[in-house]
Structure 1
């Protein structure tokens, strides 16, 4: 398919001269060749017409786990990228938590090879330490050359301050980005939920907010000492917001993300001991959830991630304290976010991570690469099993209200539209 005509699409792209205009968009060989009020359709053109069609720059998810290699029963790269495309994402950053861990250039090349010829582009994150064990730095420079866009151990915090320091110093030689999940394990102990009234009521061991905050404070001190660039994923406490805000005011190159589930859900949902809500970091209280939303709106939190983490039923459908942490999130991300944030903020925060990870941003203009997400921001539905496209079904959003509808994407000269 070479030519696609998108009819009556409202463009949501603050960087585009067509922002908030309803227009037709003509794409030829992956390039936007015309944007106008009415473009006539010709033979051999695929025409896309959808109810209340909106279009934005392609969305990028900065934290996605699949499984392959090693855990293909959870998710394969091919199906995972199809899920991402149908969920509106034109690009994803793949976490290194496969088996083996993506900690060398051959593993980076393997996942890139598996992701060829897909509509959604895969960008690998290399592990920061060998086997993500936190003791020795992995082959960072080699992985960068092979195509890794950043380095971090997924949901594992570097406990050794010196390793963290050396990593921040080392990657500066090639303008690398360090991703540091923050949690002090000695303070976390055997905790599995947020420490507070809910954990006491439920009789579950709590993880204090301090476990995250102390680690963030340490890493920001190290960043101030070393220089370089640091990305702190999935922050979840009020003090974390404050610490990052202060670090940015000092001029430190620090960015952060928050997960969709921390913006939409709170710890009160744990009352039924349903392990689908067991995530890392844990769901916090309602006051904190509102503070995270405020930090998204005021710009302290740079981007939003689905933190998509498929897990097989054997590891998830267990007693709460035995179940693995994690929820799938690609399919529900857009619809769940619209229940708590305005549309323009949602679009901005689903595209903002491109700048952080230095990925090309394709604004919606004539003669630019067509990398587009299609959606309808109106309407409501309940998220059910029928909405899940992933191989794994561990969604924290089952039976939750969502807003709007994702129609699909156009990227890499490929059109993916949901039925």
Structure 2
């Protein structure tokens, strides 16, 4: 792959070319020259795009594709295609599958299905067998097979001692534990945020307390055991404060937030559109603003699309019976770029590389792992913009700022 990106503005903190418009030459998948007015060599393809910007490749730390078991919602092949067109060079795929990603065989199966794609697939194995929360899965074996972390997707461990053992055990091989915070007893039968809106609509609410109690418990266990913990999504102002405090104590804890909670609030549910039923639920405007501050001050490390395809049979039904989840890969950048400055957007979209023990750079001699985009276009997210097999998009009809052209990765290009 020999190409030259013409007149590309680099967005990369601490890069000497940051915010400068340059040409970038890529030879056999490696960055070979960076400068202005580079000559085009024979055999090189020129790529020019309107207001072209380039950053290190983006990472999404929480997506599900369904396959194996739920291919009607999304396949791995199409899911990775959507991710590439949405700007992601790397995605962390979680177990919302049948069978669960809880052993080497399933990991190898999914890895093989992801070969040859521009977007690299990284698997988060379940923390417990079949994600049932009763006994630990084969963590070390899955680590050896290529799992990058362990966590039961959207489930919190009722058994606190099991989380303690997991954090102790994974230290032997530098493992990372994903710990989703939601106390199921306090949550009860709630399915939207508990507050004035849910009361007016007659919907059963999930109090912020359900998240806070579980998060505080998990942090206390981490403080006792040591180890590495990632909180995949938080949704409340008080959770931001808990994470901030834990980091100030030197705990090895990182945190993410869903684009849904960062951009939207509980008022979205008033028309009973089931695409707004997500987990954690959309919270109050005060919570949303606190999450934005957490992103800006570094309390929140990464932002995820929280991409969760759901087929129409499980979405176009009564609100309380419908499944949680929204697709988000196609709209995350345009939505995020509306609420935080571009430099922060790119920082949070690239921070996931730390979990892969890599630090790609836009520098000569580095492998090309790039996302190409235009941060300044304004548009409306419509059905025609959906590339996923499932169409449950919470951002439909929302204003977007910025469009993605594609990625260059694995010595291939997807634009």
User: How many equivalent pairs are there?
Assistant: 415
After TM superposition, the score normalised by the length of structure 2 is 0.99
1:365 equivalent in structure 2: 363
- Mapped pair 1:66 → 2:65: yes
1:316-363 deviation per Cα after TM superposition (whole angstroms, max 9, x unaligned): 1111000000000000000000111110000000011211x1342211
Displacement of 1:21: 1.1
- Does the 8 A contact of 1:30 with 1:412 survive in 2? yes
Displacement of 1:18: 1.3
1:180-228 deviation per Cα after TM superposition (whole angstroms, max 9, x unaligned): 1011111000001000001001100000000000000000110011000
2:400 equivalent in structure 1: 402
- Does the 8 A contact of 1:53 with 1:375 survive in 2? yes
- Mapped pair 1:250 → 2:249: yes
Equivalent-residue separation in structure 2 for 1:186 and 1:363 (angstroms): 45
**Aligned-partner SS, 1:92:** strand
Gaps of 5+ in 2: none
Equivalent-residue separation in structure 2 for 1:359 and 1:409 (angstroms): 21
Gaps of 5+ in 1: none
Equivalent-residue separation in structure 1 for 2:53 and 2:161 (angstroms): 48
Equivalent-residue separation in structure 2 for 1:110 and 1:199 (angstroms): 42
2:229 equivalent in structure 1: 230
Structure 1 residues 368 and 152: alpha-carbon distance in aligned structure 2, compared to 1, 3 A threshold: same
- Mapped pair 1:12 → 2:8: no
Correspondence 1:76-155 to 2 at 5 A:
76-155=75-154
Correspondence 1:27-42 to 2 at 5 A:
27-42=26-41
1:179 equivalent in structure 2: 178
Equivalent-residue separation in structure 1 for 2:394 and 2:33 (angstroms): 41
Displacement of 1:377: 0.5
1:263-289 deviation per Cα after TM superposition (whole angstroms, max 9, x unaligned): 111000111011000000000011110
Equivalent-residue separation in structure 2 for 1:217 and 1:383 (angstroms): 37
1:286-326 deviation per Cα after TM superposition (whole angstroms, max 9, x unaligned): 11101100110010011100010011111111110000000
Displacement of 1:43: 3.2
**Aligned-partner SS, 1:6:** strand
Aligned structure 1 segments of 4 or more residues deviating by more than 2 angstroms: none
Correspondence 1:204-283 to 2 at 5 A:
204-283=203-282
- Does the 8 A contact of 1:327 with 1:396 survive in 2? yes
2:198 equivalent in structure 1: 199
2:382 equivalent in structure 1: 384
